[in-house]
């Protein structure tokens, strides 16, 4: 739900809530948001209220909500942490947060350890069901585990273009029973037939923050010409399986070890790809598909060398 926070078109509240109900009816029942994603948590709260009105209280058991705690740097006291968690709970209209994903901007400020201590206490009190992380690197995950904290997931960027989680993080997660929740899998929409064979877009053509963000990633990865070669291969695979380029991109990441789920951005009330996204569950890539993809991605720059581990692009 980052895409409701601005920079992706004007979101109408009523249209957003109505479309959330459509997603739910289609079986897409998990919502990922953050306390800094504009009205995302409020939308979730309104959606839950509307769902009860239409389907009854029991329907709430079929939906899940993941939010993020993204505090400003500085002292992390119990009162500060609890204030923001309570605020999210109220806005989301929940008794307990299904997964609370914690993000921290600067590792030089080690107050993130204090925040995790208080979050763990709040989890023990029932305000949080599961703790997760967002954009932490493997080294910091190691520190957190060694200090005795337990978390179920880390949300990171993971796509055919950005395969950095495979370098260090996936093996660490396997060892410690941690799963990856992945975003950026569709490169903000670049992984689609729309951009197949198209000229390189100018900056003025990139009308959403997602497109601007992931065009930068494509440039670092290997540039537009190499990306077009990847799209061509993906299009061939999609046609072979009677599916879409977006489905191929999504299935590739879903099949990676330690990946629990892929998070697809939703421009609620503006566009939706419900029917296409559902097709990914019947798609199975074969060894030839992987070889074809690798024949292109092996020619790209090593993003781990260029950027660093997962999350380093934010620090």
Q: What is the CATH number of the domain that holds 250?
A: 3.20.20.100
d(CA 279, CA 277): 5
Q: Please report where in the chains the tokens 């809530």 appear, as a residue.
A: 17
Angle at 238 between CA 232 and CA 242, to 5 degrees: 145
DSSP at 273: -
Tell how far CA 55 is from the center of its chain. Answer: 28
**Strand positions, DSSP E, 148-222:** 153-157, 179-183
- pTM of the full predicted structure? 0.94
**Number of independent structural domains in the chain:** 1
If you search the block for the tokens 């080294």, which residue do you land on?
A: 139
Classify burial at 151, counting beta carbons within 10 Å of its beta carbon; exposed 0-12, middle 13-18, buried 19 or more. Answer: buried
> Would you say 144 and 119 are in contact if contact means Cβ atoms under 8 Å apart?
no
Residue numbers of the domain that contains 271: 2-314
CA 23 to chain centre: 17
Q: What is the pLDDT along the chain (315 residues), one digit of tens a residue?
A: 998 888 888 888 999 999 999 999 999 999 999 999 999 999 999 999 999 999 999 999 999 999 999 999 999 999 999 999 999 999 999 999 999 999 999 999 999 999 999 999 999 999 999 999 999 999 999 999 999 999 999 999 999 999 999 999 999 999 999 999 999 999 999 999 999 999 999 999 999 999 999 999 999 999 999 999 999 999 999 999 999 999 999 999 999 989 999 999 998 888 889 999 999 999 999 999 999 999 999 999 999 999 999 999 998
């Amino acid at each position: 739900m980052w895409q409701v926070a601005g920079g992706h078109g004007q979101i109408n509240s009523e249209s957003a809530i109505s479309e959330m109900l459509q997603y739910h009816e289609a079986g897409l029942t998990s919502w990922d948001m953050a306390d800094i994603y504009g009205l995302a948590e409020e939308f979730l709260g309104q959606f839950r209220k509307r769902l009860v009105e239409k389907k009854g209280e029991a329907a709430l058991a079929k939906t899940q909500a993941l939010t993020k705690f993204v505090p400003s740097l500085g002292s992390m006291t119990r009162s500060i942490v609890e204030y923001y968690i309570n605020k999210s709970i109220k806005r989301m209209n929940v008794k307990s947060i299904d997964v609370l994903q914690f993000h921290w901007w600067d590792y030089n400020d080690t107050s993130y350890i204090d925040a995790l201590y208080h979050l763990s206490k709040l989890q023990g009190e029932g305000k949080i069901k599961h703790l997760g992380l967002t954009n932490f690197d493997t080294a910091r995950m190691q520190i957190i585990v060694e200090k005795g904290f337990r978390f179920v997931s880390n949300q990171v960027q993971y796509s055919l273009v950005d395969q950095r989680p495979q370098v260090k993080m996936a093996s660490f997660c396997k060892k410690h029973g941690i799963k990856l929740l992945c975003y950026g899998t569709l490169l903000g929409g670049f992984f689609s037939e729309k951009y197949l064979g198209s000229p390189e877009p100018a900056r003025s053509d990139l009308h959403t923050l997602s497109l601007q963000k992931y065009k930068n990633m494509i440039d670092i990865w290997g540039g537009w010409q190499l990306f077009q070669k990847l799209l061509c291969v993906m299009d061939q695979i999609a046609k072979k399986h009677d599916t879409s380029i977006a489905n191929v991109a999504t299935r590739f990441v879903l099949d990676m070890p330690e990946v629990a789920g892929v998070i697809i951005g939703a421009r609620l009330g503006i566009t939706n790809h419900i029917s296409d996204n559902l097709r990914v569950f019947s798609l199975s890539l074969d060894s030839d598909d992987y070889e074809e993809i690798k024949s292109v991605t092996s020619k790209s720059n090593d993003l781990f060398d260029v950027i660093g581990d997962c999350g380093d692009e934010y620090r």
